């Protein structure tokens, strides 16, 4: 079986639980990389833990500010030697996307900057409430064009839009959250697919949280492997 790339969302501020997630999701059958979000990064021990972390990791902080502040944020991450993926929200605009992408290359050429499009917790109704007049699909495509223009490595989008994006951008690094194993609840996500469905849409990687880290992690990883087989 091909080693599919899976980012496991380490969504907790409990350091012992983080260590447990990392330990029990490691397998030779899948390429599973820990993803740390705001909850852990903002926690008392989170930032310090990542300073000395020995494995490659994804930092999902969705940088979204004026260019100078975004650049300062990137500079503050220089000591995170194993940082390989970082998210920037497309709402910050083209100049900010370009600035962060260029700064990342100077800090460490191994870092992939990924532009965040419409969150998978939103749908067409949610967009109208915010003030957007375009559908999710059209808005995401517009945002991806901007991300591509900035020189960033890829995007974060729903697996449902990934198929359309892949047709247009053959070599783009496409990451899809909102992934659930068959039978698992969608919870707060609106646009969800199973891992197999996502990879059929030719995504580069998927993000999995609850389906992997809730209850028996080893069991969940086995379910995932069986599902992809």
Q: Is 62 a catalytic site residue?
A: yes
> Count of domains in the chain?
1
CB-based contacts of 79, cutoff 8 Å, min separation 6: 51
Domain span holding position 50: 5-228
Q: From the candidates 62, 112, 148, 160, which is the catalytic residue?
A: 62
Total-model pTM: 0.92
Give whole-number Cα distances, 102 to 7, 57, 80, 175, in Å. Answer: 24, 20, 17, 21
3-class SS shares of the chain: helix, strand, coil, % to 5 = 45, 20, 35
What is the C-alpha to C-alpha distance for residues 95 and 111, in angstroms, rounded to an integer?
A: 19
CB 193 within 8 A of CB 203: no
- Domain at 171, CATH number: 3.20.20.70
5: closest CA among 162, 208, 210, 214?
208
Tens-digit pLDDT string for the chain (229 aa): 457 899 999 999 999 999 999 999 999 999 999 999 999 999 999 999 999 999 999 999 999 999 999 999 999 999 999 999 999 999 999 999 999 999 999 999 999 999 999 987 888 999 999 999 999 999 999 999 999 999 999 999 988 889 899 999 999 999 999 898 987 776 555 567 899 999 998 999 999 999 999 989 999 999 999 999 9
CB-based contacts of 57, cutoff 8 Å, min separation 6: 33, 34, 35, 36, 50, 82, 83, 84, 85
């Amino acid at each position: 079986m091909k080693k599919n790339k899976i980012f496991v969302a380490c969504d907790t501020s409990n350091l012992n639980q983080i260590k447990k997630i990392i330990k029990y999701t490691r397998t030779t059958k899948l390429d599973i990389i820990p993803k740390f979000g705001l909850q852990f990064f903002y926690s008392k021990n989170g930032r310090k833990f990542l300073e000395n972390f020995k494995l490659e990791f994804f930092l999902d902080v969705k940088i979204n500010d004026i260019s100078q502040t975004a650049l300062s944020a990137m500079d503050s991450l220089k000591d995170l030697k194993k940082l390989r993926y970082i998210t920037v929200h497309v709402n910050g605009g083209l100049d900010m996307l370009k600035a962060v992408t260029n700064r990342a290359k100077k800090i460490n050429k191994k870092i992939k900057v990924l532009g965040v499009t419409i969150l998978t917790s939103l749908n067409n109704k949610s967009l109208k409430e915010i003030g957007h007049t375009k559908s999710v699909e059209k808005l995401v495509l517009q945002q991806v064009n901007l991300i591509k223009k900035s020189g960033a490595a890829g995007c974060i989008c729903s697996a449902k839009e990934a198929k359309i994006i892949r047709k247009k951008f053959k070599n783009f690094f496409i990451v899809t959250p909102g992934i659930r194993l068959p039978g698992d609840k969608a919870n707060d996500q609106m646009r969800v697919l199973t891992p197999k469905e996502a990879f059929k849409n030719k995504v580069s990687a998927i993000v999995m949280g609850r389906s992997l880290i809730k209850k028996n992690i080893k069991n969940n990883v086995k379910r995932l492997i069986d599902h992809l087989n």
